[in-house]
Structure 1
Amino acid sequence: MRYPQFIKKGATIGLCAPSLGCNIEPYATRLSSAIKHFENLGFKVVETPHTRNNKKMESSDAKTRAMEFMSLYLNPDVDYIFSVGGGEIMVEILPYLDFDKLRDVPPKFFQGYSDNTNLTYTLTTHLDIATVYGPNFPEFGMSDWHESLKGNLKFMLGEKLTVNSFDKYEVDNLRKQRGKYLSSYNLTCQTNWINLSGEEEIQLSGRLIGGCLDILISLCGTKFDKTKEFIEKYQDDGIIWYLESCDLGVPGIIRALWQLKNAGWFKNASGFIIGRPLNKESVFDIDYKEAFYRHLKDLNVPVVIDADFGHVPPSFYIVSGALCKIKSKDSKGSIKYILE
């Protein structure tokens, strides 16, 4: 596994929009605010031409979006890359990426989540480059950073390689209301990591891979699916899958897990950590916990659900491709990243 260098104050952060751009509120205001925050901290921030564009669910056509990402990755003056947003159709950029060129330059961290799974997952499985599954750049626009964002910055600087569960999480997002675009999270619900088979304590070690289930099922079985090669290469480490979901409801989660399992993705799995799902409404008499249990129970590996990452904030960063140690006990948990 190739690990990019951490950055220092004065480094250049590159912003791109491989899916949606930030041309509407609250994202436009948050993006501008996030840039000011990082500039005030001593960083330089550069944007590709279409970060603030959006038409027909994309910041630009697929080839342009791919080339703008490539331009940042191949630019030796750019030290860390953020996506400015998720979206729906980032998958269309994959045919335009030149993986050989990306392989031949020094690696750098790319960070994003949700639709950005199309990049975080493929860069790691195709090129053995660690990526960061974590908040998109506009999240850093809030006036007073939550500890999740402060910790993310410390990781970027190489100062923090362990994340811990937070005390509370948000259900009702008030930040889309006019006048509250830069507010912090509305934390009202108690965090509760669940060991799915009722274990008093789970301790896991292995190599992390995963992302947003909604996106992974689109990659599965295509020419961009290098999962089997990845899990065979790192089988001795044990594979820990980190998964979360956005639009998928209970039936969709069940179908997605069935698909990936029967495609052979979960071979060599040593455990799973599942982020809080955005759509957790029960369907008939099946809730989201049973949806995961239904197709993971026969793998006979530990499963932790409702961890602090994904579409329900606050979210800690996940170093995709890294070795890690996970602990879950008494409704709380932690992940220690080992960059080997």
Structure 2
Amino acid sequence: MHIKPKALKPSATLGVVSPGEWLDDERLQKGIESLKAMGFKVKASPELMKHHRFAGTDKDRADALNKMFADPTVDGIICARGGTGSVRLLPYLDLELIRNNPKVFCGYSDVTMLLHHLYKQTGLMTFHGPMLTTFQDNNIFSASHFKAVLAGDTPHLALEDSEAHTEGTAEGELIGGNLSLLISLLGTEDEFETDGKILFIEEIDEPPYAVDRMLWHLKRAGKLDGIKGLIVGEMLDIQENHPDNPYGHPLTEVLAELVATGVPVVTNAPCGHGAKLATFPLGADVRLEVARGGSSLTLLSPSVS
């Protein structure tokens, strides 16, 4: 059974944590000011500024997240950035505390690991969406959708600049995240189910052969067989590592090989590392409409209480 966090009201307080790498002070302050300009109050974890690869030890970072869930003055939690290191927090998270204090928890990329761990182990609906760094450049699209979804609206999201790979309409629960991180969840206690669901994936900075291999991994694990629909986000910086000897299997060709005929598929959707990042609630009931004239994703019910 899903646990819906409380909706974020205007002037809600957002706690900022960094479950992986640290964020320099200039980017941190710029992001905080952007959140304040959106009407939020901000409470930043002190672990954000430790100057080594990670924002504190593994236990430091996990404790910071636990404290944000326990803090009654914090209404929701947003991650400062991704990078790497989220998986190292898992042994130190207080899942009972988190289950008993459900709050909005939002991030993407490496944070996919935490989104799925909390969703699977506590039932809390988590949010694949903006981080602090997303809001630094007056990102109106990302800010507007973030506020709408977390306020309890059910927006009809036009998947701008996307491409219809296979037209059609489907309804189901939304599940997904960063492709590399989804692969790392397979065979663990946090392995996700896709049967009857709408799967979304995104990736950055991987050569085409690696994306191909990961998609085949999903297929061989049965994660593409029963899906109702597929949303492929912006696959940013997917560049040949040997330009003089290209891999030769474009993404559209791979999808045609791996996804069943008739399953709606849209590519280049705003759910990745590109300039526009929508907020996707894990476990939400959605309707995906894919058409040459424009595709869309609609929340069928609020993802917050």
Scaled by the length of structure 1, the TM-score of the pair is 0.80
8 Å Cα contact 1:208-1:242 kept in structure 2: yes
Deviation per residue, 1:244-287 (Å, 9 max, x gap): 11233221122212223323334532121110101333633212
Q: 1:111 to 1:318 in 2, by over 3 A?
A: same
Displacement after TM superposition at 1:332 (Å):
2.5
Q: Which residue pairs with 1:173 in the alignment? A: none
Aligned match of 1:339 in 294, 301, 304?
A: 301
Q: Which residue pairs with 1:239 in the alignment? A: 197
Q: 1:267 to 1:101 in 2, by over 3 A?
A: farther
Displacement after TM superposition at 1:241 (Å):
0.7
Q: Does 1:269 align with 2:234?
A: no
Q: Which residue pairs with 2:211 in the alignment? A: 253
Where does the alignment leave 5 or more consecutive residues of structure 1 unmatched?
167-190
Q: Which residue pairs with 1:326 in the alignment? A: 288
Counterparts of 1:315 and 1:206 in 2: how far apart (Å)? 21
8 Å Cα contact 1:281-1:288 kept in structure 2: no
Query: What does 1:212-231 align with in structure 2 at a 5 Å threshold?
Result: 212-222=178-188, 224-228=189-193
Percent identity over the alignment is: 29
Q: Which residue pairs with 1:94 in the alignment? A: 90
Question: Which letter does structure 2 place at the counterpart of 1:216?
Answer: L
Q: Which residue pairs with 2:132 in the alignment? A: 137
Displacement after TM superposition at 1:123 (Å):
1.7
Where does the alignment leave 5 or more consecutive residues of structure 2 unmatched?
241-245
Scaled by the length of structure 2, the TM-score of the pair is 0.88
Deviation per residue, 1:91-121 (Å, 9 max, x gap): 1111222223322x13211111100101112
- Number of residue-to-residue matches in the alignment: 296
Counterparts of 1:154 and 1:83 in 2: how far apart (Å)? 18
Aligned match of 2:42 in 41, 45, 61?
A: 45
Q: Which residue pairs with 1:171 in the alignment? A: none
Counterparts of 1:114 and 1:19 in 2: how far apart (Å)? 11
Aligned match of 2:117 in 111, 116, 122?
A: 122
Q: Which residue pairs with 1:183 in the alignment? A: none
Displacement after TM superposition at 1:19 (Å):
0.8
Counterparts of 1:334 and 1:285 in 2: how far apart (Å)? 30
Deviation per residue, 1:48-96 (Å, 9 max, x gap): 111133413x112212111111111122221111000010222111122
Q: Which residue pairs with 2:243 in the alignment? A: none
Counterparts of 1:38 and 1:305 in 2: how far apart (Å)? 29
Counterparts of 1:254 and 1:42 in 2: how far apart (Å)? 42
Counterparts of 2:139 and 2:3 in 1: how far apart (Å)? 30
Counterparts of 1:337 and 1:250 in 2: how far apart (Å)? 32
Query: What does 1:1-340 align with in structure 2 at a 5 Å threshold?
Result: 1-23=2-24, 28-56=25-53, 58-103=54-99, 105-142=100-137, 144-166=138-160, 191-195=161-165, 199=166, 201-222=167-188, 224-228=189-193, 238-266=196-224, 268-281=226-239, 283-297=246-260, 301-330=263-292, 332-339=294-301
